[in-house]
Chain A
Amino acid sequence: RKEVEQDPGPFNVPEGATVAFNCTYSNSASQSFFWYRQDCRKEPKLLMSVYSSGNEDGRFTAQLNRASQYISLLIRDSKLSDSATYLCVVKGYSSASKIIFGSGTRLSIRP
């Protein structure tokens, strides 16, 4: 089993739809969680950190489920500009623990 897994997609949804994807992790000691978006041939850009209590930023909501060991990203009222690859990042507490990127979920918003 991979340490961090994401459904590669692509998720193809109409503009205005709500879409959600998950990222599962295998190490229960993982402490830090993030969502990044990456456009084709560009660098990853931080979308949001994921806190234990969940957090929301405009149309984006991130949740952490420690019991089932996954984080989720919900995008409401999707825009064409949301088309990108969404990467989750997971890290354990100790400085020696690995920084692990998921392989990414590709999202395509159609008009």
Chain B
Amino acid sequence: DTEVTQTPKHLVMGMTNKKSLKCEQHMGHRAMYWYKQKAKKPPELMFVYSYEKLSINESVPSRFSPECPNSSLLNLHLHALQPEDSALYLCASSQASGGTFYEQYFGPGTRLTVT
């Protein structure tokens, strides 16, 4: 089973709202990722968790707050977003091992609109 699930599929939120995006995988992967993708652009890496610890934060503004409650779950908490944060937010997972980078499997994404 190579499935990564994400909820919700779509989200519309105001600039003062607080919301969370959720991601789940049951492939036993120990690395999980958040990406942001704008239309006609490639995904941009935001955060990487390895063995439930934040290992990479690509200078993402603090209005995005990731959380990894356990090895299967990854959340992205959103607060005080700006309209330019509207995008497709993709979660991915992969095996994790020292220096080797394995293929990532992506969830279907959450399409976020900030009004």
Size class of the contact patch on chain A: 20 to 34
A91 vs B55: C-alpha distance when bound (angstroms): 15
Residues B104 and A46 in contact, CB atoms below 8 Å apart: yes
Q: How many A-B residue pairs have CB under 8 A?
A: 47
Residues A87 and B42 in contact, CB atoms below 8 Å apart: yes
A103 vs B102: C-alpha distance when bound (angstroms): 20
A103 vs B44: C-alpha distance when bound (angstroms): 10
Q: Could you say which residues of chain A place their CB within 8 Å of the CB of B42?
A: 87, 101-104
Size class of the contact patch on chain B: 20 to 34
Is B50's beta carbon under 8 Å from chain A? Answer: yes
A44 vs B45: C-alpha distance when bound (angstroms): 13
Contact with A along B48-69 (1 / 0, CB 8 A): 1010000110000000000000
Residues A95 and B103 in contact, CB atoms below 8 Å apart: no
Task: Please list 17 pairs of residues, one from A and one from B, whose beta carbons are closer than 8 Å in the complex, sorted by A's number.
Answer: A34-B103, A34-B104, A43-B90, A43-B107, A45-B106, A91-B101, A93-B99, A93-B101, A94-B99, A95-B98, A98-B45, A99-B33, A99-B45, A99-B48, A101-B42, A103-B41, A103-B42
